[in-house]
Amino acid sequence: MTALERLRAEAAESDQSAGAAEYERLAAAPPDELAEALTAGGLPLWARELAAYRLGLAGDRRAFEALVLLLNHRDPPRCTTAAEALAVLGDPRTARAAAALATNPLRTAYALQPVRLLTALRAPESAPALIATLTRLLSPHDPYWRIALACVEGLGTLADPRAREVLLRAQSHPRLAVTATGALRALPPSPG
């Protein structure tokens, strides 16, 4: 299901005819109306998400703050939609925001999309944030192995030599070992 299909379904569930009509209005609204929807009172979350998503895909930076809030949402589909729009948006603040979310130890459960976004952005902040997050998640019995796996995958994609040490450590974790080995192969040869 695409983001727009999910949002249309949420609108229909929220208030049958009124929700469907509001969805159609926002789906066709020009950028200024979408930007107004981001700050208008009384709109449901799906409506704000739709407005931010459309603005983000259009490259309109007025969507940035709303998209970062959605990237940090507890609902994974909202995080995914926000990450998709932020990747297209091209706002220079995006990598810093994603790095802050990915490295926040209080929000680790919601870090999957920020980690993936950092990988897609290939920004200067990407590898250091993924290294820091993975380092923290390599403690024994950490429950966030999926986030750690996304970090390992991202570091393999980025092929940043600074990741060598943490990837070597990740090889000792059963759920990360194969991917960490592949990521290490992607790194340039170490000097010497």
Compute the average pLDDT of residues 179-191. Answer: 93
Give the Cα separation of 92 and 129 in Å (integer). Answer: 16
Q: State pTM to two decimals.
A: 0.92
**Which of these, 145, 7, 143, lies nearest to 75 by C-alpha position?**
7
The predicted-structure confidence for 115-135, as pLDDT tens digits, reads as follows 999 999 999 999 999 999 999
From residue 24, how far is each of 18, 27, 59, 187 by CA, in Å? 10, 5, 21, 48
- State percent of the chain over pLDDT 90: 85
The predicted-structure confidence for 10-19, as pLDDT tens digits, reads as follows 888 877 677 8
From residue 187, how far is each of 64, 137, 164, 166, 173 by CA, in Å? 33, 21, 8, 12, 19
Cα angle, residue 19 at apex, residues 35 and 68 outer, rounded to 5°: 40
The answer to whether 73 and 83 are in contact (CB under 8 A) is no
